[in-house]
Structure 1
Amino acid sequence: MLSSKDVAELFDISISTIRYYEKIGIIPPIERDENGYRIYTKSTLNWIYLMKSLRNAGLSIESLQEFSRLSQKQGEERKQQKQVLRDQLQEIDEKIAELQRVRKLLNYKIETYDEHLAKFQTGELTAVTTEELWKVKL
Structure 2
Amino acid sequence: MTITEASQKFDISQDTLRYYERIGLIPHVHRNKSGIRDYTEEDCNWVEFIKCMRDAGLPIEVLLEYVELFQQGDETIPARKELFIEQRRQLLKKMEDMQKTLERLNYKIASYEGAVVDAEKTLKRSED
Counterpart CA distance in 1 for 2:67 and 2:111 is: 49
Q: Give 1:13-92 correspondences, 5 Å limit.
A: 13-92=12-91
1:102 matches 2:74: no
Q: 5+ residue gaps in structure 1?
A: 119-138
CA contact (8 A) 1:8 1:14 kept: yes
Q: Tell me which amino acid in the other structure corresponds to 1:36.
A: G
* TM-score, with length taken from structure 1: 0.74
Aligned residue-pair number: 119
Q: Tell me which amino acid in the other structure corresponds to 1:107.
A: N
Note the aligned Cα RMSD (angstroms).
Answer: 2.2
Counterpart CA distance in 1 for 2:99 and 2:89 is: 15
Q: % of aligned pairs identical?
A: 36
C-alpha deviation, 1:25, in angstroms: 0.9
Counterpart CA distance in 2 for 1:39 and 1:78 is: 29
Counterpart CA distance in 1 for 2:41 and 2:90 is: 29
Describe the SS at the equivalent of 1:47.
helix
Q: 5+ residue gaps in structure 2?
A: 119-128
C-alpha deviation, 1:12, in angstroms: 1.1
Deviates more, 1:26-35 or 1:83-92: 83-92
Counterpart CA distance in 2 for 1:111 and 1:62 is: 40
C-alpha deviation, 1:114, in angstroms: 5.0
Counterpart CA distance in 1 for 2:106 and 2:59 is: 32
Runs of 4+ in 1 over 4 A off after TM superposition: 114-118
* TM-score, with length taken from structure 2: 0.79
